[in-house]
Amino acid sequence: MSADPIVVIGGGIAGLSFALSLHQRGLRCEVYESVPQIKELGVGITLLPHAMRELSALGVQPQLEAAGIENLESVFFNRFGQFIYREPRGRHAGYPLPEIGIHRGKLHRILYEAALEQLGTQRIHTGHRCAGVSQDASGVSVHFTDAQGRALDPVRASVVVACDGIHSAVRKQFYPDDKVAFAGINTWRGVTRHKPILSGKSYMRVGSIRTGKMVIYPIIDNIDGQGLQLINWMAEIEGSSQVMNDWNQGGRAEDFASIFKDWTFDWLDVPALILNADQILEYPMVDKDPVPQWTFGRVTLMGDAAHPMYPRGSNGSAQALIDARTLATELARGGDAVAALSAYEAQRREATARVVLTNRSQPPDVINIRVEELSGDRPFRHIDDVISQDELRALSDHYKKIAGFSLEAVRG
């Protein structure tokens, strides 16, 4: 490989985990992040066992367990608050690793601090927004601007890995007509201080996107010293008349709370959960169609830059983490770097495309959608009158298999 370093564009989950994987294998890299300062932004994220497998290998599992909440169970309800299905999760389901709900900003901070400690502060560069790449026979020149749009000195690299997210400048260079795909589903995400719900370690899916859906789970325990948790929630609604939400602005409860106005159950008051939120953000439910190529000479794509997918089933981060380990392993074999990038793409491009398409056609809440169809979207006497628990378990297991976190795959 060239004497020039591997350049990682983007210091998010994909970029930092890739940098840590490279460092573990004795490979030199430089990380360039667009924002001037790393802050704990966003709301919640669930780290499924296949994500935790990768993070554990990076040595950050203890920090993640300390900062988040280990999920005990996943529980499904219809929009009338009636129980549909329950299954144990993570270690409680026999996996060797936990499933953890955590604030996305805390996950990012843990990876960032690990990278600073292991790579050294001189290898993590903030305030560098990628403006494009150019290649020659010996390597790649990466062009950057600062926060004010002023050109910075170009950087030479042996290879470049674009981890710069769904709006990737590098992907746009190779796919200039690239656009997000919006199918009429909008989401709002929030966090609310609330007493523990159900077990206090429950991941809940309530309703469906057709009539209104909520995903609810805790991410910080005892946030006030008096037993309240920080509860993460995401509201979703689908409709042909939907105008795509703007992810650059904060969300307003009045834009969507009416969908859930009757969701007052004996186990949770959903309107109160929404109206008492500390923070609400709005996002469109978007992804991008799978592309036929990630690797262009000495440049390749990773994470959301390669395969942006619906934020369903907590799979975007997990797939990015698997990307990171796969490419680091290929590069560590030595030899031709271009061949290593191609080998990585061969292992990951079709696999992630299947997850992207499955998240569109058969999301993890297919259980709720199926029950809604079978019950005529009406309350039922008992779920067994509608569908058996074995059938529901089969639907759940099918998604896990496609997404790569079946028990067999993670034990693997």
Note whether residue 399 is domain-resident.
yes
Q: Alpha-carbon distance 79 to 76, whole Å? A: 10
Q: Alpha-carbon distance 267 to 206, whole Å? A: 12
Q: Alpha-carbon distance 166 to 311, whole Å? A: 12
Query: 381 and 398 share a domain?
Result: yes
Query: 272 and 378 share a domain?
Result: yes
Domain housing 216: 182-287+366-411
Domain boundary among 327, 345, 361: 361
Domain boundary among 343, 361, 379: 361
pLDDT score, position 313: 64
* 114: Cβ contacts below 8 Å, ≥ 6 apart: 16, 20, 58, 59, 60, 63
CA 93 to chain centre: 22
Q: Which residues pair with 182 in a beta bridge?
A: 286
Q: Alpha-carbon distance 74 to 87, whole Å? A: 5
Alpha helices in 131-236 (DSSP H): 169-174
Query: 207 and 350 share a domain?
Result: no
Phi and psi torsions of 131, nearest 5°: -110, -5
Residue 162 token pair: 């674009």
Note whether residue 83 is domain-resident.
no
Note whether residue 198 is domain-resident.
yes
- Indicate the number of domains in the chain: 2
Query: Domain containing 244 — which CATH number?
Result: 3.30.9.30
User: Which 3 state secondary structure label does DSSP give 350?
Assistant: helix
User: Which 3 state secondary structure label does DSSP give 30?
Assistant: strand
Q: Alpha-carbon distance 112 to 114, whole Å? A: 5
Note whether residue 296 is domain-resident.
yes
Q: Alpha-carbon distance 12 to 108, whole Å? A: 7
Residue 402 token pair: 């496609």
Is residue 241 a contact partner of residue 222, using CB atoms and an 8 Å limit? Answer: no
Q: Alpha-carbon distance 31 to 29, whole Å? A: 7
Half-sphere exposure of 291 (CA within 13 A, CB side): 25
| Residue 146 CB neighbour total at 10 angstroms | 13
Is residue 102 a contact partner of residue 44, using CB atoms and an 8 Å limit? Answer: yes
Whole-prediction pTM value? Answer: 0.92
Nearest to 350 by CA among 291, 302, 405: 291
pLDDT score, position 2: 63
Query: 26 and 109 share a domain?
Result: yes
In our burial notation (b when 16+ CB lie closer than 10 A, e otherwise), range 61-75 reads bebbbebbbbbbbbb
Note whether residue 54 is domain-resident.
yes
Note whether residue 86 is domain-resident.
no
* 365: Cβ contacts below 8 Å, ≥ 6 apart: 76, 205, 208, 209, 213, 215, 312
Nearest to 9 by CA among 169, 153, 121, 120: 169
What residues in the chain have per-residue pLDDT under 70?
Answer: 1-2, 240-242, 248, 313, 363-364, 412
Amino acid making up residue 33? E
Amino acid making up residue 384? D
Q: Alpha-carbon distance 9 to 172, whole Å? A: 14
Radius of gyration of the chain (CA): 22
Is residue 156 a contact partner of residue 136, using CB atoms and an 8 Å limit? Answer: no
Note whether residue 386 is domain-resident.
yes
Query: Domain containing 343 — which CATH number?
Result: 3.50.50.60
Nearest to 168 by CA among 342, 34, 274: 34
Amino acid making up residue 369? I
Distances (CA, A) of 111 to 20, 118, 246, 313, 328: 8, 10, 28, 22, 16
